[in-house]
Amino acid sequence: MLPSTLKLAVKVLLRRKFFTMISLVGITLTLLVLMTTTALFDCSFGSYPPETKTDRTIGVLSVRMSGPHSIRSGNPGYALLDRTVRDLPGLEEVSLHTETSAVTSYPKGVRLNSYLKRTDGAFWRIYTFHFVEGGPYTDEDDKSGNFVAVINEPTRRAYFGDATALGKTIEVGQQRFRVVGVVEAVPYFRQMVFADVYAPITTSPSDTYKREIMGGFHATLLARSRSDLAEIRREYEARISRIEIPDPKNYDRLQSWAETLFEATAREMFSNQFESGRVAGLIGIIVLAMILFMVLPAINLVNLNVSRIMERASEIGVRKAFGAPRRSLVAQFVAENVLLCLVGGAFALVLTWVALQVIAATGVLPYARFGLNLRVFFYGLALSVFFGTLSGVYPAIKMSRLHPVEALRGASR
């Protein structure tokens, strides 16, 4: 049944090449935008090296103090994290690390703008960086304040060309570090792990960070298993509730959360207005936006399909006169449209790959690397089938309701 349906669908689509081409262009452009957006979203939040343990990793990314007349929010400070995350139940590892900060250096007399991130030794055990030279610095290096650093490949080339960097010294932000490792560059949009230079926390120019409740730090929490995540979240929030607020005159509530990057993004988008349902709300907004984006092209495709199918009124009349049930006619028309959308989806998938390479080549996002993995492929496949069904059902139902006599006369109603 299915092979014959598909064979007939191919013949019908080739019968009117002009209509098919117009439909195909509209479908391809629509799916190109949707697939490109989906691929960018996946590259930002999906599981990619060095963030390969996302199924059991959460982070402490923000803190919020509120009072009757004031609200202050930002990144947590080292002191807050040091007092709350060190021995949470169910943890395999915990890492404290700073946000990336812009620094300037002058290798070979040329100005170089770089991004510096300070981490502890556990950072390298949680995230699976690919080292092309050497290895990471250790807990002992961080404890002792050793001026050692891990740099990425572009930074190595800027300082040393194609020569090895191990054991050599670089000057970054008016500090000198001995290079102990070189890693592959991490794309800019992987904010938890992106940097050009990584150095121990204790190499900071000042130790004032050790007393800050709010500051430029994050914490990454790696659970022993996914089942431990709920307990880790609960215990962290319980500990936060016991932290003394540093400015009780202006603030009477301190909040912080152990969450994924997507959950933190949802929280920021909803401005902390809801205590629950943020993730579902953000997903709903994304799905709704995608559907609304597809509505107009779907309407145009519906009109094209109606025009194309109306020309087949006599064919429909013959099939109905010989007892073809309505569901078989609907299935035939929907199959034709889904097949057309799958072809458009194939073209869109290729063009999406091209678009992603162009975006990466512009350098707007440093070290961006985009690819079409299986997740993006199946997203594209699902979008193609959904779009084909969405734009094909109405014309199919409309034509399947034609009376055989009227259809044989070529009538459209």
Q: Alpha-carbon distance 47 to 25, whole Å?
A: 33
Q: Alpha-carbon distance 367 to 52, whole Å?
A: 18
246 and 213 Cβ atoms separated by less than 8 Å:
yes
> Nearest-5° angle of CA 105, CA 111, CA 114?
50
152 and 182 Cβ atoms separated by less than 8 Å:
yes
3-class secondary-structure state, position 98: strand
Name, in order, each residue with C-beta under 8 angstroms of 19's C-beta and a sequence gap of 6 or more: 304, 307, 308
How high is the pLDDT of residue 135?
97
- Residue for token pair 């946000």: 99
Q: Alpha-carbon distance 292 to 249, whole Å?
A: 47
Name, in order, each residue with C-beta under 8 angstroms of 115's C-beta and a sequence gap of 6 or more: 100, 101, 102, 103, 194, 195, 196, 197
- Residue for token pair 């034609």: 402
End-to-end alpha-carbon separation of the chain, Å? 29
Cα distances from 96 to residues 43, 187, 310, in angstroms, run 24, 20, 66
314 and 322 Cβ atoms separated by less than 8 Å:
no
pLDDT along the chain (413 residues), means of 10: 61 68 81 84 85 94 90 94 95 97 90 96 97 97 97 96 95 94 94 96 95 95 96 96 89 93 84 63 80 74 68 64 68 76 85 88 82 71 74 69 58 48
Inter-axis angle of helices 326-362 and 17-45, to 10 degrees? 50
Q: How many C-beta atoms lie closer than 10 Å to residue 222's C-beta?
A: 21
Whether cis (ω within 30° of 0) applies to the bond prior to 50 is: yes
**Exposure of 363 in the CB half-sphere (CA atoms within 13 A):** 0
Q: Which two tokens stand for residue 219?
A: 């914490």
In terms of Cα–Cα distance, which of 245, 232, 190 is closest to 49? 190
How high is the pLDDT of residue 413?
46
State residue 102 phi and psi, 5-degree precision: -75, 130
pTM: 0.80
3-class secondary-structure state, position 199: strand
Domain coordinates in residue numbering, the chain? 2-48+280-408, 68-251
